[in-house]
Amino acid sequence: MDKAMKFVDNITLKVCYVAMVAAFFLMCMTTFHAVMRKFTTLGGIKDSLGLTELTMVLIVFCSLAFMESQNGHIRVDILLNKFPKKIGTALHGVLLTMSGIFLFIMFYAMAGNITTVYARGASTVVWGIPHWPFLIVAVVGLFVYALDILMHGFEKFSQVKTASDEPADKEVKDVDLTTQM
């Protein structure tokens, strides 16, 4: 299981590099666009909205898996902490596995849509950049995210055996915030 998790995390990091490059491009383009609008009569980059939309697709879909691998997603554990540790861990595994299954369904639907977008010739208005390559990258990012969340679900199932039977919220220590300020 650890080898598989390391393999998936390695792929996740590589997909996240695409999001990092896209974010850097978006920052540079936005800065250049603002400077051009302020100091020239050209009015900025033509179709910057179309470029921003395509770049945001890359940023969102390529960073989801990395957020999952780093446990960066916001989770509401109020309900899970009320159960004994074994039941809470098992329930968390079930929820992650269900999420992974739904993400694979989304992946299948998006992958089937690539040929439609390609056949229509959808592209940006001014630059004529086709949408289908960005959809392929989004599908790859979604696949890696679904794989990562499914692997975390299986990992939770393997942790059920070692979990204790006492409620999870008893392990949380009360912290007095007034003394820390």
pLDDT tens per residue across span 120-143: 999 988 889 999 999 999 999 999
Q: Is the pLDDT of residue 47 over 90?
A: no
Q: Is the pLDDT of residue 55 over 80?
A: yes
Q: How is the chain split into domains, by residue range?
A: 2-172
**pLDDT class for 41, splitting at 50, 70, 90?**
confident
pLDDT value of position 69: 85
Residue appearing with tokens 């920052």: 27
Distance (Å, rounded) from C-alpha 146 to C-alpha 137? 14
Nearest Cα neighbor of 59 from 26, 91, 33 is 26
Distance (Å, rounded) from C-alpha 20 to C-alpha 59? 7
pLDDT value of position 131: 94
pLDDT value of position 99: 92
Distance (Å, rounded) from C-alpha 37 to C-alpha 15? 33
With beta carbons less than 8 A apart as the criterion, state whether 124 and 50 touch. yes
Mean pLDDT of 20-47: 89
Q: What is the pTM of this model?
A: 0.80
pLDDT value of position 59: 95
For 152-177, how does the pLDDT look when each residue is reduced to its tens digit (9 = 90+)?
888 888 888 776 666 555 554 545 55
Nearest Cα neighbor of 142 from 88, 96, 106 is 106
Give SS3 for 129: coil
Measured in residues, the chain has a length of: 181
Q: Is the pLDDT of residue 3 over 60?
A: yes
